[in-house]
Amino acid sequence: MIHSPLFRAAAAAALLGATAQVSAGVVYASNSNSLYTLNKVDGSATLVGTMLTAASGRAVIDMTAVGTTLYGLVQQQVGNVVQTNLAVIDAATATLTDLPLINGIVTNSGPARRIDAIAYDAASGRMYGVNNGPDRSLYTLDLVTGAATRIGALPSVSDPNIQYRSLGFGAGGALFAALITAGSNSASQLVRLDPATAAQTLVGSTLADTIADLAYDADDGVFYGGGSRTEASTGNTVTAFLSINTLTGAATELSSGFAGGWNGLAVVPAAVPEPGTLLLAALAITGLLAGQRRKPMAP
């Protein structure tokens, strides 16, 4: 066994170099036109920048992370048709780059390009979306063309008052959604969806807030929810940032306060060390080991 203090210090320095690029996952939130980062402990928000102006008539209604890249779901009204498209969001400046309009959604009421919530599955490399129109369904979305491929009808399609306001993948690739009853301030229900069939399982109805988006932080193992609730003392709608138990649906509020509510929530995971950095660290430790073995025994 090597006891040299020099070896231990050098090995520690090499390992530190390998992990220096690793940082904790960052939580991002949006309120239609602006991008913020959220403190995981107290939920305090820091403005990153403006994504869209109110005059544009467009809004970011949902967000998700694809690796370390933020994607937003942008909505706009064109005549009587609500259109949506995916967009890449620069996490440092909030600059938004539009992708093609979402297309290929199947409806009985005519052509539509509307998706109401998105979530990305890192394991399969697929983007998922839900449509709250008359033919409420789960889809996969092509990140390049915006083409939507229908998986199946969602179970609550027969109740037009139920809306799927959010999607999010949790631990182990489980897909969750938060449901709300349209036109009311009732609490959300947390359900689990089968990404292959759109089959639905109720997890719990104990969410105390209206959840507009869900996001999983793999670095900390925490499933977050962002949305709004009504302030009891004033009757005003304020933002809500929560951690959610995906076994029971129980939510713990981490913070509230901003006027309005969070529309989108996404966690950009910790950066992965560069392969070259890991290799250099390994070589440094190997060299130190070899040097220690060649050191002659003291007389």
pLDDT tens by residue, 88-147: 999 999 999 999 999 988 765 555 568 999 999 999 999 999 988 777 899 999 999 999
Lowest mean pLDDT among 61-70, 171-180, 284-293: 284-293
Q: What's the pLDDT at 165? A: 82
Q: What's the pLDDT at 259? A: 63
265 pLDDT band (50/70/90 cuts)?
very high
**If you average pLDDT over residues 162-189, what whole number do you get?**
83
From the CB of residue 123, how many other CB atoms can be counted at a distance below 10 Å? Answer: 9
Calculate the CA 250 to chain-centre distance: 19
CB 35 within 8 A of CB 27: no
Lowest mean pLDDT among 164-173, 261-270, 274-283: 274-283
Q: Which of 184, 233, 192 is nearest to 210 (CA)?
A: 184
Q: What's the pLDDT at 51? A: 96
**Mean pLDDT computed over every residue of the chain:** 79
Tell me the C-alpha to C-alpha distance, in Å, between residue 54 and each of 14, 31, 69, 108, 247: 50, 11, 24, 32, 39
Q: Are strands 162-169 and 175-181 parallel, antiparallel or unpaired?
A: antiparallel
Q: What's the pLDDT at 181? A: 73
Q: Identify the bridge partners of residue 128 per DSSP, sorted by sequence position.
A: 119, 140
Phi–psi pair at 100, nearest 5 degrees: -55, 155
28-271, CATH topology level: Neuraminidase (2.120.10)
Q: Does position 22 have pLDDT exceeding 60, yes or no? A: no
Lowest mean pLDDT among 86-90, 176-180, 202-206, 272-276: 272-276
Q: What's the pLDDT at 198? A: 94
What is the rounded CA–CA span in Å between residue 15 and residue 174?
A: 33
Q: Does position 12 have pLDDT exceeding 80, yes or no? A: no
Q: What's the pLDDT at 189? A: 86
Most confident by average pLDDT, 41-45, 133-137, 265-269: 265-269
- What letter represents residue 210's amino acid? T
**If you average pLDDT over residues 35-64, what whole number do you get?**
91
Share of the chain above pLDDT 70, in %: 75
b/e burial code for range 101-117 (CB count within 10 A of at least 16 → b): bbbbbeeeeeebbbbbb
The residue ranking higher by pLDDT, 41 or 193, is 193
Q: Which of 245, 246, 239, 247 is nearest to 265 (CA)?
A: 239
